[in-house]
Amino acid sequence: MYGGGCVLTTKMRIRLIKEIEVNNLGQRIKQARLDSDKSLEQICQEVKMSRTYWYDIEKETLKGALSLENLRKIEEVLGIDFGVKLKFEGEQSEEEAVGND
């Protein structure tokens, strides 16, 4: 409580950064692309990424990690679920990366 009996409500953002390794994800993304009836150019346009970045994903040579947001966009455009699920704080214990073959 601050002077005058007024309670100030504020918000603070919290960032969660978590990286996991998923076996053969690049190969699975490539196979899904090859199985798709969409061209690479069309896929990249819909996902909003360059072909160079796409090939780095397929070859698993990204300098950093693939963002969960980009993975979800790829899944949406290709119409596939790669089975990658992240466990966040407070959830019941389970495998962090489902879909590791």
User: Mind listing the pLDDT tens digit for each residue in 59-77?
Assistant: 999 998 999 999 999 999 9
Is the overall model pTM greater than 0.85, yes or no?
no
CA 74-27-39 angle, to 5 degrees, is 50
Higher pLDDT pick, 26 / 4? 26
Mean pLDDT, the chain, whole residue set: 85
d(CA 65, CA 20): 9
Please state which CATH number belongs to domain 25-78.
Answer: 1.10.260.40
Scanning the structure block, which residue is given the tokens 């309670």?
7
Q: Estimate to the nearest angstrom the gap between the alpha carbon of 91 and the chain centroid.
A: 19
For 45-64, b/e burial (b = at least 16 CB within 10 A) is eebebeeeebebbbeeeeee
Q: Domain residue spans in the chain?
A: 25-78
